[in-house]
Structure 1
Amino acid sequence: MRIAVTGAFGFLGSRLTATLLEQRMLCGAPIEGMVLADRIVHDDAAGVDDPLVTVVHGDLSDRLDDLFADPVDVIFHLAAAVSAECEEDFDLGMHANLDVTRALLDAARGQCAAGGPVPRLVFSSSLAVYGMHPDQPPASLVDESTLPTPRTSYGTQKLICEQLIADCTRRGFVDGRVARLMTVAVRPGKANAAASAFLSAIIRDPLAGLSATCPVDPGLQVALASPQRTVRGLVRLAEVSRGTGPGQLSGTAPVNLPALTVSVTDMLATLRQAAGDTVADLVTIAPDPAVEAIVGSWPAAFDNTRAAALGLHPDPDFASVLRHHLADQAVTRTTDEPPRP
């Protein structure tokens, strides 16, 4: 079993990589090699010294020959430009999200044409493929049959990629499995360029003693998933067998990973209850119309039936999401401490 992960040194990619390297198995077979591809690679990144790992550094569209130097059985395609930067730079989003994905599909097709295996391709799409027009009432509950009507370039690019993957699956070039990710929170470290980055910042930064700004009306409801549940969903989609029976994946329709619906008000109240007033008061409400327009266009309430049939379930509440984050930070601090004499 040989696996490739694109965007492998990003937040989700590094967590997925750590999970796979820890279990050393996927789809019931031992992992014999992993190719970790990313534009930015740090020398001290987790996994780079593992004997199973080969690192491919650079723009993926220029390094696909290296990615497919040996036959690849499973590809986790996580590399992407995110929502706000795609609104800021249309050409960046088209290249990073659409052009690179098409090139990856062409390379997978080439592997098949040369007599290699049909790779399972797990693609990280987004809830941003759905969009609510401000003049229309929001859907009460969104499922995979809800018509995607993206309101951002990022969502549009992800939707196009979904359709390309479905067609390549129909034609036998890949075995595509599309996961529509919810907003992942709480993310540690420096915020990325996603419009939803504040949903992590208003929790992460006050816990570190830093001020944070909430750019939306606190009454806004959002769909969240913890990093742990998100990685579990990606691995499950890679492993599930195709078919029409219970617990199998049928058709080429995307799977909405499980969503916890919560308001920003509830998130901040949970932070206050867990960490106290001094911490919670570090958050300032300062609405930003540009951010509200993007995040407010995404649905918040999802029907999780299809994910549940695959054994995937949402986080029970935001308190559990916060506990996961605090536990992760405690482990990170312990790991980063210098050895004691």
Structure 2
Amino acid sequence: MNVLIIGGGGVIGQKLARRLVRDGTLDGREITGLTLADIVEPAPVEGARTALCNIADPASLAAVVTAETDMIYLLAAVVSAHAEERFDEGMAVNFYGVLNVLERARHLGTRPRIVFTSSIAVYGGEVCDPLTGETFLNPQTSYGTQKAIGELLLNDYSRKGFIDGRGFRLPTITVRPGKPNRAASSFMSSIFREPLNGQEAICPVGRDFPHYYLSPRRCVENLVRGAAIPEADLGQNRCMIMPGRSLTIGAMIDAMTAVAGNAPSKLIRFESQPEIEPILKGWRSDFRADKARALGLEADAGFEDNIRYYLEDDMPAGRAVS
């Protein structure tokens, strides 16, 4: 099986690649080729090749999506606040880029399997809690709208038999390693990551703000399992909510304290950020991922695990919680 990870330079793409190299198989088949593609050369992963790819450019895409490509993880995206600020960039990648991938697959005629990472940002507005797989999509941001369009296209290209698609609406992934990005949810990692590394962090919401989250480790596990779901089990809607858990910010901070002591929480400063407040006010937290759970995907046991996973997997060398 030849596997292509588009967005292979990102946190999840890198972790997924290392997991696939370690396993050596996917959906019961030997992985004979693994390529990480991104608009900037991805960091190397032993056992995988890297390639440059801009999905907004069909010619660039054609160089990495070939007749030999069996499985595509479509992780690349212009993230939430960035897509809101730079509408054209968001459309180029999140809409036209996704369409380009689907069109390339259609014209090859090889019907590759495509795993698409969508977002819980497809929900919002005047819909009632809890949010389920049957709740109609009502995004209130450009990013959410672009992801919703991607879901509809994935379903239709699958219905037509051009691809075997499946899409997963990701919770906020925390605790991410590295530096903050331009996602409105970036603070959901920085308020834990930076304090654990002895640095101050700003939290733009109060302790009672609830949010739906998932660890990077569990996200990767679910992407591996999701790729192996039998096509017949997916039903007429190929897209679903990935399991996560909802907690308040205060409960998450308390979980960090339970694992790492009192010092990190003292480095969190609560301060509003007007540039992202309109997005944050539209966030929902009561999600029911019944379909994905029934198909074998799982949430974290608790936020203490998210902190432990960061310390085990991603804590920079030489750093220690004091």
Normalised-by-shorter TM-score class: over 0.9
1:308 aligns with 2:280: no
* Deviation at residue 46 of structure 1 after TM alignment: 3.5
Root-mean-square deviation (CA, aligned residues, Å) is 1.7
Structure-2 change in CA distance of 1:192 and 1:141 (3 Å):
same
1:256 aligns with 2:241: yes
Q: Percent identity?
A: 36
1:80 aligns with 2:65: no
- Report runs of 4+ in structure 1 exceeding 3 Å deviation: none
Q: Which residue of the partner structure matches residue 207 of structure 2?
A: 218
Q: TM-score, normalised by structure 1?
A: 0.89
1:109 aligns with 2:122: no
Q: Which residue of the partner structure matches residue 122 of structure 1?
A: 115
Q: Which residue of the partner structure matches residue 167 of structure 1?
A: 156
Contact persistence 1:38–1:79 (CA under 8 A): yes
Output one character per residue of 1:208-233: Cα deviation in whole Å (capped at 9) or x when no partner.
11000001122110000011111111
Output one character per residue of 1:289-325: Cα deviation in whole Å (capped at 9) or x when no partner.
3323213312211112111111122112111111111
For 1:135-284, what aligned pairs fall within 5 Å after superposition? 139-243=128-232, 248-284=233-269
* Deviation at residue 70 of structure 1 after TM alignment: 4.0
Structure 1: where are the runs of 5+ without partners? Answer: 337-341
Q: Which residue of the partner structure matches residue 26 of structure 1?
A: 26
Inter-partner Cα distance in structure 1 for 2:124 and 2:229: 29
Contact persistence 1:71–1:111 (CA under 8 A): no
Contact persistence 2:119–2:168 (CA under 8 A): yes
Q: TM-score, normalised by structure 2?
A: 0.94
Secondary structure of 1:333's match?
coil
- Which structure would you say has the larger Rg? 1
Output one character per residue of 1:2-50: Cα deviation in whole Å (capped at 9) or x when no partner.
11110001111001111111111112111111222101125xx242x52
1:333 aligns with 2:317: yes
**How many pairs were matched up?**
317
Q: Which residue of the partner structure matches residue 89 of structure 1?
A: 86
* Deviation at residue 164 of structure 1 after TM alignment: 0.9
Secondary structure of 1:199's match?
helix
Q: Given residue 270 of structure 1, which amino acid in structure 2 is its aligned partner?
A: A
Contact persistence 2:54–2:61 (CA under 8 A): no
Comparing 191-200 and 308-317, the one that deviates more: 308-317
Contact persistence 1:130–1:155 (CA under 8 A): yes
Q: Which residue of the partner structure matches residue 339 of structure 1?
A: none
Q: Given residue 323 of structure 1, which amino acid in structure 2 is its aligned partner?
A: R
Q: Given residue 69 of structure 2, which amino acid in structure 1 is its aligned partner?
A: V
Q: Given residue 179 of structure 1, which amino acid in structure 2 is its aligned partner?
A: F
Q: Given residue 128 of structure 1, which amino acid in structure 2 is its aligned partner?
A: A
Contact persistence 1:220–1:296 (CA under 8 A): no
Q: Given residue 83 of structure 1, which amino acid in structure 2 is its aligned partner?
A: S
Contact persistence 1:268–1:280 (CA under 8 A): yes
Q: Which residue of the partner structure matches residue 40 of structure 1?
A: 40
Contact persistence 1:3–1:31 (CA under 8 A): yes
Inter-partner Cα distance in structure 2 for 1:167 and 1:250: 13
Structure 2: where are the runs of 5+ without partners? Answer: none
* Deviation at residue 251 of structure 1 after TM alignment: 2.2
Inter-partner Cα distance in structure 2 for 1:235 and 1:298: 27
